[in-house]
Amino acid sequence: MAWISSGQPGVRYREHATRRHNGQPDRYYSVRYYLHAKDNEEGLGWASDGWTAKKAAAVLAELRRAQSTGLGPQTLAEARAKTKAMADEEATSKRAAGVAGITVEKFMADYYIPHTKRTKGSWREDEIQINKVILPAIGLLPMRAVTRQHIEGILNAVAEGGAAPATVKHYMATLRQAFNVAAQTFADGVPILPGPSPLVGIKPPRLYNIRERFLSYEEADKLIDAAKALDTDLHDAIVVALNTGMRKGEILRMEWQDVDIVHGVLLVRDGPMQKPGGHVHVNAEVAQVLQSRKGTRAAKAAKVFPGIKGQERDFGRHFRELVAELGLNDGVTDRRHKFVFHSLRHTFASWLALAGNDISRIKVLMRHKTLAMTDRYTHLIPDATKAAVHNLRPPRGS
């Protein structure tokens, strides 16, 4: 196609061989100018896209003005690059504004809870805290609008509600992890939390919540018998916890592939951000419970305690009802002495100590990381020092 003069200086066009526009051949316009000691020509576009010789001449006049003053784009390529950059900047600004508006509620639902489901075995506890306390307090605020004062308000409210320091610390850990995840999460290429976490500088509460309570053999028998009449799964979980020291979460996650009844060993697997696993030895009571579960619906599932319809089983409510029925917490006001499911693990360790097992063996069976964690049971181990106080002095009158 040959170039044709448009009648406007520096503007010409060529006609499409077949395509028509307004009854005439469609025209493609270009502009010609002298720059950097050479002739230049750049195409503008088709008449069917809105270009005319007059519009092309106006563009050429703007380019020549920029070339003479040194202000603005001096070529079409520069003009188009500037236009694109401005459009990209505007789009980025709109995306950033959208991300800046992501609320705590939306972030938790779309990003944090899915993240914890992939990485934490205890994700359900986080979800409960989020729905029960965190969202009612700050759910409608944008993530970037949450301040240290908001976080301190939540933690103070939890503490004033009667929660133990460990519970307050757990809320703080959940919030800290959520904002750390936000700092590492991008939406539309923009970080959800570009600035510092609002938890910076907040110190966790001091803890002294070591559970001292453990069951006597008689109390344990009553608990086991009562559980059997109430809930088979709860009964079996109690027996496993008392005789292995396994935590509730470990019992709920236990799978049949990790159970070796023949050799009397269970494998507790390590998990992301969870307590250390290891091998757990099975005594006759646990073996009997596991063998009986083999003949139930549990044997057809991957997990030993599969729950119903794929929902993870939790014994919390039934366990609390059982403890209340037996009066195990009657008159107990110190939270450290309250009997909870985790007290079954503490009972296991205490019984080991009372049976005369040394502290190193208890550490291995409890799967503690350090011996310091096991030292709390040393006072229960029978030794000569206990007999010493009974021989403090000769009987009176002798």
Q: Give the mean pLDDT of the chain.
A: 85
Task: Check residue 50 and give left, alpha or beta (phi > 0: left; psi -120 to 50: alpha).
Answer: left
How would residue 313 be classed by pLDDT, with cut points 50, 70 and 90?
Answer: low
Rg (CA), the chain: 37
The DSSP letter of residue 345 is H
Q: Which of 35, 14, 34 is nearest to 25 (CA)?
A: 14
Quote the CA–CA distance of 97 and 187 in Å, as a whole number: 11
pTM of the model: 0.53
Q: Is the pLDDT of residue 392 over 80?
A: no
Least confident of 171-185, 233-247, 372-386: 372-386
Q: Which two tokens stand for residue 297?
A: 């619906």
pLDDT at 20: 94
Least confident of 18-27, 50-59, 277-286, 294-303: 294-303
The answer to whether 73 touches 83, Cβ cutoff 8 Å, is no
Question: What's the burial of 164, exposed, middle or buried (CB within 10 Å: 0-12/13-18/19+)?
Answer: middle
pLDDT at 70: 86
Q: Is the pLDDT of residue 311 over 60?
A: no
What percentage of the chain has pLDDT greater than the value 90?
A: 42
Segment 84-104 shows an average pLDDT of 77
The answer to whether 325 touches 331, Cβ cutoff 8 Å, is no
CB proximity list for 319: less than 8 A, separation 6 or greater: 234, 238, 340, 341
pLDDT at 82: 85
Q: What is the pLDDT of residues 56-86, one digit of tens each?
A: 999 989 888 988 888 888 888 888 888 788 8
pLDDT at 398: 57
pLDDT at 190: 81
Q: What is the pLDDT of residues 135-170, one digit of tens each?
A: 999 999 999 999 999 999 999 998 888 777 778 888
Backbone angles phi, psi at 187, to 5 degrees: -120, 125
pLDDT at 165: 79
pLDDT at 299: 56
Cβ atoms < 10 Å from Cβ of 90: 10
Quote the CA–CA distance of 68 and 295 in Å, as a whole number: 92
pLDDT at 198: 94
How would residue 385 be classed by pLDDT, with cut points 50, 70 and 90?
Answer: low
Q: Which carries the bigger pLDDT value, residue 188 or residue 363?
A: 363
Quote the CA–CA distance of 393 and 398 in Å, as a whole number: 10
The DSSP letter of residue 302 is S
Q: Which two tokens stand for residue 355?
A: 């049976």
Segment 359-371 shows an average pLDDT of 88
Q: Which carries the bigger pLDDT value, residue 381 or residue 361?
A: 361
Cβ atoms < 10 Å from Cβ of 35: 12
Fold of 217-385: hpI Integrase; Chain A (1.10.443)
Q: Is the pLDDT of residue 274 over 80?
A: no
Q: Which helix (H) or strand (E) holds 19?
A: strand 11-21
Least confident of 11-25, 67-81, 194-208, 301-315: 301-315
Q: Which of 95, 196, 93, 188 is nearest to 143 (CA)?
A: 196
Q: Where are the chain's structural domains?
A: 4-98, 104-191, 217-385
The answer to whether 29 touches 50, Cβ cutoff 8 Å, is no
- Would you say how long the chain is, in residues? 398
Q: Is the pLDDT of residue 182 over 80?
A: yes
Q: What is the pLDDT of residues 195-243, one digit of tens each?
A: 899 999 888 876 555 566 889 999 999 999 999 998 889 999 999 999 9
Q: Is the pLDDT of residue 89 over 90?
A: no
